[in-house]
Amino acid sequence: MLPEAGGAYVYVREAFGKLPAFLLGWMTWLLIATGAIAAVALGFADYLGRFVATDLVGGRMGVAAITIIVFTATNYVGVKPGTVTANIFTVAKIVALSALIGVGLFAPWDVTPAVVANAPAAPPLTPGFAAAFVAVLFTIGGWQQTNMVAGEIKDPARTLPKALAIGIGIVIAIYLGANIVYLKALGRDGLAASTAVAADTAQHYVGAWGARAITVAAMLSIFGFVNVALLTNARVLFALGADGAFLPAAGRVHPRFGSPHIALVMIGAWSLVLLFGTGGKIGTLLDGVVFADWIFFGLGAASVFALRKSRPELPRPYRVLGYPLLPGFFVLCAAAGVVSAFVAHLSMSLVGTAMLAVGALVYWSRVGRAGR
């Protein structure tokens, strides 16, 4: 219906106007994409540290920074290298996780769970629910990334729905299968205590070599996420710049490589700022990402209702299944995610709120100057 680069930015702009869309792009740059990139790059550094010493490159912080820089440069030279890299990492992690799930599901159910030593007592459910909900919401994020490159996809009206349906279906199957196998191998307490769940599960079933193999697969998965996040989210800043809502330079395309090079550098550079500004605290980064991300997930889903009323003339190659119940339920879930982030991590949510307020001031200052 709206086959443009930018994904939810375009939907929110058309449904609710330029200010909410600007704030989506603003927060994508300041927190959502860049915070996720920094956090996941740190995860890669932690896994790499299980194999090799990283002191020569500055430890986990140095590895995370190098990871961000490498993929910023890869995507700078065009969408094709970044896409090929993403495809390689995606296939590798799907094969590894599928193998682990297959081994785990066919193992006898009477296997004694490998409870990790010093596992903590089971916490009460209610106080920790908000924090757990926030963590789960982060892990399922990323399904919307394909929409952000709609402007660069051939026949998006046909390709996007099919890609999203197949991709989300595969992810659901792998997530459910993996978590069943994790619980079966480690038990609840072991799962809570483990710092490398997939590796511990693989070691339980097939020994040390399996743990090493799945750790490599986890590293590839994390590596691939950083690449995809840069590849897709730079298109949001590109759309913002092309609209003239923020820095017009962000809307430029490299004359040789055809990539949104300024937007990519902005995403990569600010990811480094957040990486070092938070001192490498993954939890702090994730808290802010979930708070901001799910505000705009909710707006994106709500745009289905708004666009049906305000833009009935737009071509609609496909219709939303379960309308209005399904998108309405999603909006409620998004609201629950934002509330959970506030309850679980008030300080980072307040930082996100302050960023939104500053973004609104920046927008109105630009609108005011343009009107004079």
CATH topology of domain 8-371: Amino acid/polyamine transporter I (1.20.1740)
66/34 Cα distance (integer angstroms): 15
- pLDDT value at 166 more than 60: yes
For the stretch 196-232, what's the b/e string if a residue is b when 16 or more beta carbons lie within 10 angstroms of its beta carbon? bbbbbbbbbbbeeebbebbbbbbbbbbbbbbbbbbbb
Burial class of residue 59 (count of CB atoms within 10 Å of its CB; 0-12, 13-18, 19+): middle
Please tell me the predicted confidence (pLDDT) of residue 112: 57
Band the pLDDT of 131: cuts 50, 70, 90.
low
59 within 8 A of 135, measured Cβ to Cβ = no
Burial class of residue 86 (count of CB atoms within 10 Å of its CB; 0-12, 13-18, 19+): buried
pLDDT tens digits along 18-32: 899 899 989 999 999
- pLDDT value at 83 more than 70: no
In sequence order, which ranges of the chain are alpha helices (DSSP H)?
8-16, 18-27, 33-48, 59-76, 79-106, 125-140, 156-193, 197-206, 208-242, 261-277, 282-310, 325-344, 346-371
**Residue predicted with more confidence, 291 or 143:** 291
With CA atoms as reference, report the closest residue to 263 among 5, 57, 66.
Answer: 5
Please tell me the predicted confidence (pLDDT) of residue 150: 62
Please tell me the predicted confidence (pLDDT) of residue 122: 47
287/284 Cα distance (integer angstroms): 5
pLDDT tens digits along 284-334: 888 888 889 889 989 988 998 998 888 887 777 667 778 889 999 989 988
222 within 8 A of 44, measured Cβ to Cβ = yes
171/72 Cα distance (integer angstroms): 26
Please tell me the predicted confidence (pLDDT) of residue 226: 85
370/14 Cα distance (integer angstroms): 21
Band the pLDDT of 145: cuts 50, 70, 90.
low
Per the prediction, the chain carries an average pLDDT of 82
The whole model's pTM is what? Answer: 0.80
202 within 8 A of 100, measured Cβ to Cβ = yes
E strand or H helix at 239, and its extent?
helix 208-242
Read off the DSSP letter of residue 247. -
75/229 Cα distance (integer angstroms): 10
74 to each of 181, 231, 350, how far by Cα in Å? 35, 9, 34
C-alpha torsion 252→239→237→337, nearest 10: -170
Question: Which residues touch 292 (CB under 8 Å, ≥6 apart)?
Answer: 27, 31, 32, 352, 355, 356
Please tell me the predicted confidence (pLDDT) of residue 121: 54
Please tell me the predicted confidence (pLDDT) of residue 48: 86
223/164 Cα distance (integer angstroms): 21
348/291 Cα distance (integer angstroms): 8
Question: Which residues touch 369 (CB under 8 Å, ≥6 apart)?
Answer: none
57/164 Cα distance (integer angstroms): 38
Domain boundary assignment for the chain: 8-371
273/69 Cα distance (integer angstroms): 12
259 within 8 A of 75, measured Cβ to Cβ = yes
With CA atoms as reference, report the closest residue to 252 among 226, 234, 269, 268.
Answer: 234
Please tell me the predicted confidence (pLDDT) of residue 64: 94
pLDDT tens digits along 290-301: 889 889 989 988
* Distance, C-alpha 49 to centroid of its chain: 23
Return the structure tokens found at 354: 């302050």
- pLDDT value at 170 more than 70: yes
Band the pLDDT of 126: cuts 50, 70, 90.
very low
- pLDDT value at 127 more than 50: no
Return the structure tokens found at 261: 């090079």
Return the structure tokens found at 330: 């999603």
Please tell me the predicted confidence (pLDDT) of residue 215: 83
